[in-house]
Amino acid sequence: MDANDKVIAELVQTRIKVTPEQYKDVYNKRMHPILMAQPGIIATMAGVITSENGQDSKKQADGATVLSLVIWKNVDSHIGFVTGPAAGPFFEASMPLMREPPSVEHYDVDGLQPSAFNSHFAQVLKASSATNKELLASVFKRHVTTEGAEMALFSDCTEDTSKKALILFSDADQFEATCGVMDKGTGIEHYNIEWYSRGTTRSH
C-alpha cells in the first residue's frame, strides 16, 4: 500500500485561555460540524486532559489543555482540508481560544473500530527510549486482553520516528493495563482524557 493511502491519525494538543466548557461549546457548535463535513474524515474526537503525568491538570493556573484526535482516510484527505476552503472558518473559530500554538503529531492507524470512536475516556502514553517502548508494548498487550485489539492505537510518530504513542480507549476512567507501570519513574509521558465530543462516519 502506498504511504499516502494509509489511514492517518492527527493528534492535536492545545493549551487554551478559556475554560474547558467555553472551548467545548465553540468546538461542538462550530469546529466539529466543519470536520464531520469533510469528505476524507473517518472519525473525530475531542476532550479535555484531566491528568498529566499523574497530576490533576483540570485547574492549572496557565490554562487547561484540550486534545483532539482526528482520523483521516489518508494523508491527501488531511492536506485537502488544511488547504481547502473549510480551513478558514475552522481556524477562525479555534485560534482565539488558544493560549499558544498547538502541538500536532501524526500516526499511521490500523485496526481501530467504532467502539473506540465512541468511548468516553482515553489514556495517551508516549515513549522514545527502547526500554520505554517495550513497556508500552506490554501495556498494549494487557489492554488488548481486557478491552480488545480494536480499543487501542499503537504507532510510531510520523514527524519523529523515535517517538511511539499508545492510546488506550475505554468506557471507564481507570486503565488497569497501566497499573504499576507508571509508578516506576519510567519517564513515559502519560495523560488521561475525557472525551466531550465524538463523531464517526463508520457504523457498527
SS3 per-residue string spanning 105-136:
EEEECCCCCHHHHCCCEEEEEEECCHHHHHHH
Q: pTM (2 decimals)?
A: 0.88
In the block, which residue shows the cell 469546529?
31
* pLDDT tens track for 139-164: 999 999 989 888 999 999 998 989 99
CA dihedral 100, 196, 143, 164 (to 10 degrees): -20
* pLDDT tens track for 80-122: 999 999 999 999 999 999 999 999 999 988 666 778 888 999 9
Q: Which fold has domain 3-200?
A: Alpha-Beta Plaits (3.30.70)
